[in-house]
């Protein structure tokens, strides 16, 4: 019997040890006992990191939608599968039951088929956070089409690049979207993109904002009438475990976006298993992940992981600040959310505002809080713990990547004692290594290095779409027989991991390797500081010096900025040492961020280096307008 749900620390260590010694037995048991397969595998695992070639459950046959939908109908057909909370709080929430989800996915799958989409075809999905988004992923999976979701905040150029890279035959979009007070003309963006994409035959358009849009004859079709005509029965396409399920693009530090390819069987097993354990998920829970399905977090932990467990998963269309800073907590109270999963950037944004926005609401339904996407600083961790979890909800700081498909390092609630800013322990089946610059593994505790994984796990990306060589070079060439994550990490005295940030964020000052995250944490402890980012810039003596961009909570003209600079350096000296003091501190209105809240240090670095004429593409940023202000205020 597998230990599918880990309940205490001793059990974690037992299960973890088993997963190290007998990885195939460990994953094989989980896969066999908790999922439905049309045929079992010939081998649990075959792999060769030198190629690299990774196959999990090869020879097995399944359809992931049978696992996410059909198998639940008999026992929980009337349970809410997707709980849709609209942008506008006055609009009614929608409870889509498993029965209804089944009908809608089957109808949508039939529409895809009727439009000529077949197994293996790529379908681009460019939709806001409305039910059609989740349903369209599942409809593709139902018929074996490969979905490629592009976050519906990306520009037409970014969309076109991704459509072209995967030669998608279809785009699924909507007339427009709501985002806080704004409406966005999604269809107009799609039109611009598709003009440059020869592979696109059909554009399916869902209605969301009832805007008057142009429909191109022969190419564009309204979705609803096609759904209305379609049968609610669509036999699932029987897939091989290693057939691609989806492509999802992630931007690297250089070059074009990488289309990470995830396959069916291993991805399903890993996301379902980690969802169950990391969120301590129980049958009547109402789980909410605030990410957008345009990111891997949404794929794995809004759609596939929760639905494979028969969970109720909330889809939120809006933003944390609309109609006011209390929106998240209003929704938590309204739907009695039990697990809440968000990003540090959202936590910090809300922590800046008055606690009245939190205290108005009853948050007593919450059991587990999660965070993902970037290192969470100590101050934000405590704010989350004290004010949202009321010190009663374990915080799961989950480290993982688009490439890993599922969570890799995380506490297991009620088993792993948490520690602020630490993602703590590797999940079962995850074999980590810290490496030094010379390619040697750093053993023991209280060490830091580059974070690698030495053994395959089921949900790892298998390749980069159309460029296996790049996959090999990016992830399997830095260290022999290892997957290199690109992150740095330290391991403390009990073996807990703390992610210190991307390795390219390491700055060497006078021969000392300084991670940006600990310095930023120190600065953020200053009561006047809201957020900060550090980059290096060339220095005659030290090699590199540190340049800090600091956002203040209030931009008071009356404040003495020179005093603040001294105080900030004082805090850094206390926390890290004088070596980490900043040479320049620029107070700024904002930091350039990706849509998922990661600071674009590349741009800050360029500005600090005085290379403003070559900033690269900033159109995919969340806030491209701050770049001009940062340049204006430059020291």
Report the residue from 230, 499, 552, 572 that binds ligand 7RM according to the rule CB under 6 A. 499
Query: Do residues 608 and 621 make contact, with C-beta atoms less than 8 angstroms apart?
Result: no
Q: Which residue has the tokens 């004429």?
A: 613
Binding characters for ligand 7RM, 297-326, by CB under 6 A (x = yes): x-----------------------------
Contacts of 90 (CB under 8 A, 6+ apart): none
- Going from the C-alpha of 615 to that of each of 538, 592, 601, 604, 618, the distances in angstroms are 18, 12, 11, 9, 7
Q: Given the complex with ligand 7RM, which of 97 and 271 has the nearer CB atom?
A: 271
# chain residues binding ligand 7RM, by CB under 6 A = 20
Select the span of 50-58, 62-70, 305-313, 367-375 touching ligand 7RM (CB under 6 A): 367-375
For residue 398, state whether it binds ligand 7RM (rule: CB under 6 A).
yes
Given a contact cutoff of 8 angstroms between Cβ atoms, the answer to whether 457 and 429 are in contact is yes
Nearer to ligand 7RM among residue 28 and residue 501 (C-beta): 501
Q: How far is the CB of 476 from ligand 7RM (least distance, A)?
A: 16
Please, which residues bridge with residue 244 across strands? 263
Out of 60, 296, 332, 627, name the contact with ligand 7RM by CB under 6 A. 296
Q: Are 56 and 42 in contact (CB under 8 A)?
A: no
> Which range, of 143-151, 356-364, 366-374, 582-590, touches ligand 7RM by CB under 6 A?
366-374
Euclidean distance between CA atoms 270 and 459, whole angstroms = 6
Residues 6+ apart with CB under 8 A from 381: 371, 395, 397, 420, 421
Q: How far apart, in Å, do the first and last CA atoms of the chain sit?
A: 63
Q: How far is the CB of 91 from ligand 7RM (least distance, A)?
A: 29
Residue 397 interacts with ligand 7RM (CB under 6 A): yes or no = yes
SS3 236: coil
Q: Per CB under 6 A, which region of 204-212, 332-340, 369-377, 453-461 contacts ligand 7RM? A: 369-377
Nearer to ligand 7RM, 398 or 474 (CB): 398
Cα-based angle 413, 414, 415 (whole degrees, multiple of 5): 90
Backbone angles phi, psi at 534, to 5 degrees: -115, 140
Sign of CA dihedral 64, 65, 69, 74: negative
What is the contact mask toward ligand 7RM in residues 588 to 627, using x (rule: CB under 6 A)?
--------x-------------------------------
Q: Is 374 in the site for ligand 7RM (CB under 6 A)?
A: yes
Least CB distance to ligand 7RM at residue 71 (A): 27
Where are any strands of DSSP class E within 367-496? 368-371, 395-397, 432-435, 447-453, 463-464, 483-491
How far is residue 358's CA from residue 351's CA, in Å, rounded to a whole number? 9
C-alpha 500 chain-centroid distance: 18
Distance in angstroms (rounded) separating the CA atoms of residues 333 and 95: 16
Using the rule CB under 6 A, which residue among 88, 157, 211, 250 binds ligand 7RM?
250
Measured from the CB atom, the residue of 243 and 374 that comes closer to ligand 7RM is 374
Quick one: angle between helices 601-608 and 625-632, nearest 10? Answer: 20
Binding segment for ligand 7RM (CB under 6 A), chosen from 88-96, 109-117, 153-161, 373-381, is 373-381
Q: Is 251 in the site for ligand 7RM (CB under 6 A)?
A: no
**Pick 142 or 348: Cβ nearer ligand 7RM:** 348
Q: What does the alpha-carbon distance between residue 364 and residue 100 come to, in Å, rounded to a whole number?
A: 30
Closest approach, Cβ 296 to ligand 7RM, in A, equals: 5
Alpha carbons 55 and 212: distance in angstroms, whole number: 48
Figure out which of the listed residues 502, 593, 601, 606 binds ligand 7RM, where binding follows CB under 6 A.
502
Nearer to ligand 7RM, 32 or 504 (CB): 504
Tell me which of 372, 408, 435, 545 binds ligand 7RM, using CB under 6 A: 372
Candidate segments 51-59, 461-469, 481-489, 602-610, binder of ligand 7RM by CB under 6 A: 481-489
Backbone angles phi, psi at 400, to 5 degrees: -170, -175
CB of 520 to ligand 7RM, least distance (A): 12
Binding site for ligand 7RM (CB under 6 A): 250, 296-297, 372-375, 397-402, 423, 485-487, 499, 502, 596
């Amino acid at each position: 019997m597998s230990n599918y749900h880990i309940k205490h620390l001793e059990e974690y260590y037992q299960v973890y040890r088993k997963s190290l010694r007998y990885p195939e037995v460990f994953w094989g048991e989980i896969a066999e006992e908790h999922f439905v397969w049309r045929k079992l595998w010939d081998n649990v695992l075959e792999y060769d990191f030198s190629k690299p070639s990774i196959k999990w459950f090869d020879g097995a046959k399944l359809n992931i939608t049978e696992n996410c939908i059909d198998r639940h109908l008999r026992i929980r057909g009337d349970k809410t599968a997707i709980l849709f909370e609209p942008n506008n709080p006055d609009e009614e929430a929608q409870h889509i039951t498993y029965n209804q989800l089944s009908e809608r996915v089957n109808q949508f799958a039939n529409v895809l088929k009727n439009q000529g989409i077949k197994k293996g075809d790529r379908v681009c999905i460019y939709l806001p956070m409305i039910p059609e988004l989740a349903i369209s992923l599942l409809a593709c999976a139902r018929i074996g089409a490969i979905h490629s979701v592009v976050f519906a905040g990306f520009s037409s150029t970014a969309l076109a690049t991704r459509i072209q890279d995967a030669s998608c035959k279809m785009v699924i979009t909507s007339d427009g979207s709501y985002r806080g007070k704004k409406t966005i003309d999604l269809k107009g963006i799609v039109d611009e993109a598709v003009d440059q994409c020869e592979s696109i035959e059909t554009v399916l358009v869902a209605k969301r904002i009832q805007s008057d849009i142009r429909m191109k004859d022969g190419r564009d079709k309204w979705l609803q009438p096609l759904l209305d005509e379609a049968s609610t029965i669509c036999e699932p396409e029987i897939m091989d475990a290693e057939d691609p399920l989806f492509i999802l693009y992630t931007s690297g530090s250089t070059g074009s976006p990488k289309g990470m390819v995830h396959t069916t069987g291993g991805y399903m097993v890993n996301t379902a298993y980690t969802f169950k354990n990391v969120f301590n998920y129980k049958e009547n829970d109402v789980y909410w992940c605030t990410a957008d399905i345009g990111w891997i977090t949404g794929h794995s932990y809004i759609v596939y992981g929760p639905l494979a467990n028969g969970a109720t998963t909330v889809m939120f269309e809006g933003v944390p600040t609309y109609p006011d800073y209390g929106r998240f907590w209003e929704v938590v109270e309204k739907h009695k959310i039990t697990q809440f999963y968000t990003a540090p950037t959202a936590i910090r944004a809300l922590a800046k505002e008055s606690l009245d926005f939190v205290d108005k609401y009853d948050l007593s339904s919450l059991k587990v809080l999660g965070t993902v996407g970037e290192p969470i600083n100590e101050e934000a961790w405590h704010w989350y713990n004290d004010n949202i979890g009321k010190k009663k909800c374990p915080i799961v700081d989950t480290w993982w990547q688009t490439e890993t498909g599922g969570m890799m390092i995380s506490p297991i609630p009620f088993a792993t004692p948490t520690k602020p800013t630490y993602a703590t322990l590797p999940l079962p089946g995850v074999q980590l290594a810290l490496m030094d610059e010379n390619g040697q593994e750093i053993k023991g505790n209280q060490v830091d290095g580059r974070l690698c994984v030495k053994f395959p796990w089921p949900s790892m990306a298998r390749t980069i779409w159309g460029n296996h060589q790049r996959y090999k070079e990016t992830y399997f060439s830095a260290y022999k027989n290892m997957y290199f994550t690109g992150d740095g990490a330290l391991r403390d005295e009990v073996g807990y991991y703390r992610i210190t940030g991307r390795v390219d964020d390491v700055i060497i000052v006078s021969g000392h390797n300084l991670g940006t995250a600990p310095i930023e944490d120190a600065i953020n402890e200053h009561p006047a500081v809201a957020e900060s980012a550090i980059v290096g810039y060339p220095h005659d003596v030290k090699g590199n010096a540190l340049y800090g961009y600091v956002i203040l909570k209030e931009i008071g003209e009356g404040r003495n900025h020179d005093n603040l600079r001294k105080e900030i350096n004082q805090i850094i000296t206390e926390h890290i040492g004088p070596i980490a003091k900043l040479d320049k501190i620029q107070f700024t209105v904002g930091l350039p961020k990706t849509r998922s809240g990661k600071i674009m240090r590349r741009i800050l670095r360029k500005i600090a280096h005085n290379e403003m004429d070559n900033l690269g593409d900033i159109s995919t940023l969340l806030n491209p307008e701050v770049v001009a202000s940062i340049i204006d205020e430059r020291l």
